[in-house]
Amino acid sequence: MPISVTLAAMDAILTPAQQSARDAALAFARHELTNVAIDPVFDRAGWDTCRAIGATGVTIPQEHGGGGQSLAEFVAMMEGLGHGCRRMGLLTAICAHVFGVVEPLHAAGTEDQKTRYLRKLATGEWVGAHGVTEPQAGSDLTGITTTAVADGDDWIISGVKRYTTCGAGADLHVVYARMDDPDRFRLSCFLVEAGATGLTVRQLPAAGLAGSGLSEVTYDAVRVPGCNMLGRPGAAAMLFQGSIERERACIFGASLGAMEREIELAVTYANDRHVGGKAIAGHQAVSHRIADMKVRLDAARLLLYRVTALKAAGRRAPMEAAVAKLFISDAFVANSLDLIRIHGGNGFVTEGGVEGYLRDSLGGIIFSGTNDIQRNIIAGCLGLRG
């Protein structure tokens, strides 16, 4: 079946608004994002380019500088961007900014906080970073050791956050810290502007996702005014759970787009590459591998848009989000490996760019909770108890 027909069939599950968002983003990415140089530390040039289509605040109301569109349209936009350009680090950064900073600020921020920060973040003038993970604490929030100690009307934050997406380019950090309460675990959330005394950022070079701003952020007795606490004191665990479920459910739109592009590359190469006078597409070992790539993509799309619809309707979806995250991230890795196998030696060398898909795909099995954590969540939702 021709690839154009295959992709058309996949469009059937999208609404007209989603289809329009994806098509517009695909055309935009092909025209605007393929020739812009990528800064491996933080892709600010790509970020500023994406501001033109409102990617940094799609779901935020227009009065706050956003696009006023639905979550489903944002996911479709990211799918189009992921299909049209090889900038997965940039797209991951945008999603982390939206789900970890912009949406929580819109949901829990005071009017003063929204006035000072939300428009700048929604329009992409400012970049937001989301600090939760620490060197010794990832998915387990109770392991967080960063502290927030009251000092008059201010808070003094001390600790280290690691694997912070956008950290290297951030203008505002959303940081989670445990309050100085010896009797119980109380987690609060704070808004910290870049440049605050005691705040330092160290970029973390990684195997993939170039330009995502992945960093270690150190808070050395950083003074934060009391008016910059986001949400109620001690209520940040609930804020985080709502944020991470939405992120986990919807962050993989760009991965779907990249998987579409991988199939196109695989089909073209298999038809054009000849061995012994015959296109390698005629070998079942190759054609069946590409068929498997297609099966994974279609299943991934159905899982992603199912959970997107649930979250767009304001429903809890912990198991559906975990299922989608687990399957899609594993499928992206598998498809990327298959793409390299189909290209053989040409897939192993860097000059063709094919191997970059695999390096970018590896992040998905780790961020937003590792895939083993997703299996734990699914098992718990099924009623399994240790």
User: Would you call 328 helix, strand, or coil by DSSP?
Assistant: helix
- In order of 46, 149, 188, the CA distances from 228 in angstroms are 29, 14, 11
Two tokens at 26? 């695909």
User: Would you call 375 helix, strand, or coil by DSSP?
Assistant: helix
Radius of gyration from C-alpha coordinates of the chain: 21
Contact 46, 33 (CB under 8 A): yes
Cα torsion 130, 134, 135, 136: sign: negative
Q: Which amino acid is at 112?
A: D
Q: In 10 A of CB 239, how many CB atoms? A: 20
> Cβ-count burial of 346 within 10 angstroms (0-12 exposed, 13-18 middle, 19+ buried)?
middle
**What are the residues whose beta carbons fall under 8 Å from the beta carbon of 283, sequence distance 6 or more?**
none
Contacts 24+ apart (CB under 8 A), 29-32: 29/80, 29/81, 29/83, 29/84, 29/85, 30/84, 30/85
Q: Which amino acid is at 192?
A: V
Q: Which amino acid is at 52?
A: A
- Of 355, 353, 350, 323, the residue nearest 338 (C-alpha): 355
- In order of 196, 339, 342, 351, 353, the CA distances from 346 in angstroms are 47, 10, 9, 8, 9
Distance of CA 25 to the CA centre of its chain: 17
Helix (H) or strand (E) holding 70: none
Q: Which candidate in 247, 260, 320, 355 is catalytic?
A: 247
Give the start-end residues of each E strand in 249-342. 274-275, 278-279
Q: Which amino acid is at 115?
A: T
Contact 342, 266 (CB under 8 A): yes
Q: Is 247 a catalytic residue?
A: yes
Active-site positions read 247
